[in-house]
Amino acid sequence: MVDLSINCGGIKSPNPFWLASAPPSNSAYQNCKAFEAGWGGTVWKTIGDPVMNVCNRYGAIDYNGQKIVGLNNVELISDRPIETNLKEIAETKRLFPDRAVVASLMVESKREAWHDIVKRTIDTGADGIELNYGCPHGMSERGMGAAVGQVPEYCQMITEWVTEVSTIPVLVKLTPNVTNIQLPARAARAANADGVSLINTINSIMGVDLDTMRIQPSVASKSSHGGFAGPSVKPIALHMVSQVAVDPEVNLPISGIGGISTWRDALEFILLGASSVQVCTAVMHYGFRIVEDLIEGMTNWMESKGFSSLDEVRGKAVKQITDFGNFDLLHKTVARIDQDKCIHCNLCYVACEDGAHQCIDLTQVNGHTKTEVREADCVGCSLCALVCPVEDCISMVRVDDESQSKTWNELMADFEREGKPLSWENLAEFQKKHGIVIH
């Protein structure tokens, strides 16, 4: 039997799939409907100071026939009164006591304002609080959202205001619009937060309509930067989650967010250290019922791998993350083309010839072209394998002596011990000694 239940910083749910704080979690009606579909938790759409949203608040990128590969929004926090949201949070928790109901909060940067809304939130019976330090538009211009998350000192200060009165777990939602995600995460830890959520949306402008020359989305012919989300942000989100997961100065539970559409996406976040995962754009695109596929897919994968709980899976990929200086310089692969699978599209040749290292030859054989790799010149970059449209037609094959290895850090230590400076000549000598291709 597979157990998908999780505990994220003291917030428990029957599965790791939570609605992110966004339009799908805006009301009791939506959250209850999501729970009926099978979602394990919800982070209520952020409540706080009065706002008024605008029309034409979304813009999207479609690519290669796929709709909404990326979604941009200039939507603000909940435009419903705090009292209405708090009442509905209490109602939802009463109806679904086994699900995680987390209240996302954002108010002005005053201790008394935070104390007030935190105490009122606790009275609803909510399982936890998420502090929204991530909104990159609208609220940041008012000194909230990303304006807080981008300054570790502010992040710590406000989080301390919350944790000094909160009796329920506190998660800090981090903005990706920073140069080092570890710094605000460390600030959250210093302020006694119970966990962090990341990433919030990325500052962006989606593009310009070449017919009207208007930026999308367009609000009465005006536009602005907005928050970018959807499948295309997943690599950025995975990177930032991994950076928090490997930082010993953080060491907090993580709720992973950013481009999660499938159970495979969710597992990638969990393998990099996340406890729960939050979904927004995919729900906006396909509806609440996608959770059925998320649960079934994750359960089947775990059964196939022999795992019985997510605790056995969490963070299993984190140890692979290292610095360039620890890469093995002697690890050598070359590209090999399966001629029986090749469809002679020549994409590998074009990519290698114009975009890489000119080590694929194109010859005419029996009326069609044949692509062949000159292995002696191949640097093992793998671009040809990435552009090939045929699965497993091009493989990267290891050809080095597996008994030998040398990292950059080790090589620098060797140079220092031998009194050699780091120079092109000394690097060339090392490469020649080990048969490394030089271009």
Q: What is the DSSP string of 151-178?
A: -HHHHHHHHHHHHTT--S-EEEEPPS-S
Among 74, 73, 135, which Cα is nearest to 104's?
135
Query: What gap in Å lies between CA 10 and CA 6, rounded to an integer?
Result: 9
Are 185 and 240 in contact by the 8 Å Cβ rule? The answer is: no
Return the ∠ at Cα 89 (arms to 87 and 91), rounded to 5°.
Answer: 70
Among 287, 275, 388, 301, which Cα is nearest to 336's?
388
SS (H, E, C) 35-71: HHHCCCEEEEEEEECCCCCCCCCEEEEEECCEEEEEE
Which residue among the candidates 8, 32, 55, 135 is catalytic per the annotation?
A: 135
Return the ∠ at Cα 401 (arms to 395 and 406), rounded to 5°.
Answer: 105
The helix-helix angle for 182-190 and 234-246 (nearest 10°) equals 50
348 catalytic? Reply is no
Q: What is the DSSP string of 210-255?
A: TTT-PBSS-BTTB---EEEESGGGHHHHHHHHHHHHH-TTT---EE
Query: What gap in Å lies between CA 369 and CA 242, rounded to an integer?
Result: 44
- Active site positions, annotated: 135
